[in-house]
Amino acid sequence: MLPRGLEIGVEQDGGWPLYEVARSAGSTERRIVYLHGGTWINQISPLQWQLVLKLAADTGSRVLVPIYPLAPQGTAGTVVPQVVDLLRRLAATYGAGNVSVLGDSAGGQIALSAALLLRDLQAVLAHTVLICPALDLSLSNPAIDALEPNDKWLVRPGLRAAADLWRDGLRLDEPIVSPLFGNMDGLGPLTVFVGTRDITHPDCELLVSKAQAAGVHTIFHQAPGMVHLYPLLPIPEGRAARRTMAEILGSDP
């Protein structure tokens, strides 16, 4: 059930359902585009919708949720450019400083790949917020070896199979597939949330180091002992992360 004080609408945008969640009263130019995770093959979940509702309520922004086609119908080469086009149109209408992008897991890959491509079009977003993002789809970071036996959520064989469907023949080191390989120069403010028991953690560390070296304003939230997507879970650490996320997304860049 939709919480009191929020409204939701949906329209078709380039053949995709595009949901918009916002406070019923008041108006704002701020827009947050949220890309859900799900290993590129699973649809948006109730926990992800709960995050959308909280961000709309707490930030006062209008949160847009594109329901992109899943692999193998949807691929990096078709989905990411359409997300870029959505962000570009929003930036042209409301100003790039009023537009943020947020993604979790596979959605984090889409979000960062799109933000980098948009940067190349001379539009720098207010915030790029990543929750346990997939950054290098080769999953070849040797630091993953020690984490994988204790990660009860993610395993490399399944991720690699899904990633192969998603990249659809594109090289693993192309930034539209693995944004860790992209040039971070000129990217807007970046925030990364990840738990230390998550096999995405080593690549998140690399991303933060690379972004900081490029002069990107970067905030890194590492949660000791937390698992994949802990910011979405109904636990104290998850609630704290969601509050922090709302504060960041509700702030000026």
Query: One of 104, 136, 151, 198 is an active-site residue; which one?
Result: 198
Q: Is 198 a catalytic residue?
A: yes
Q: Is 105 a catalytic residue?
A: yes
What is the band of 151 on the pLDDT scale with cuts at 50, 70, 90? confident
What is the band of 94 on the pLDDT scale with cuts at 50, 70, 90? very high
What percentage of the chain's residues is helix, strand, coil (to nearest 5)? 40, 20, 40
Question: Each residue of 179-209: pLDDT tens digit?
Answer: 999 999 999 999 999 999 999 999 999 999 9
Query: One of 61, 100, 104, 105 is an active-site residue; which one?
Result: 105
Amino acid at position 167, single letter: R
Nearest to 172 by CA among 203, 150, 195, 145: 203
**Residue 210: its H or E element:** helix 201-213
In whole angstroms, give the CA distance from residue 80 to residue 166: 11
> In terms of pTM, does the model score above 0.85?
yes
Which residue in this structure is represented by tokens 């959505």?
86
Q: Per-residue pLDDT for 4 more than 90?
A: no
Q: Per-residue pLDDT for 152 more than 90?
A: no
| Class at the top of the CATH hierarchy for domain 6-249 | alpha beta
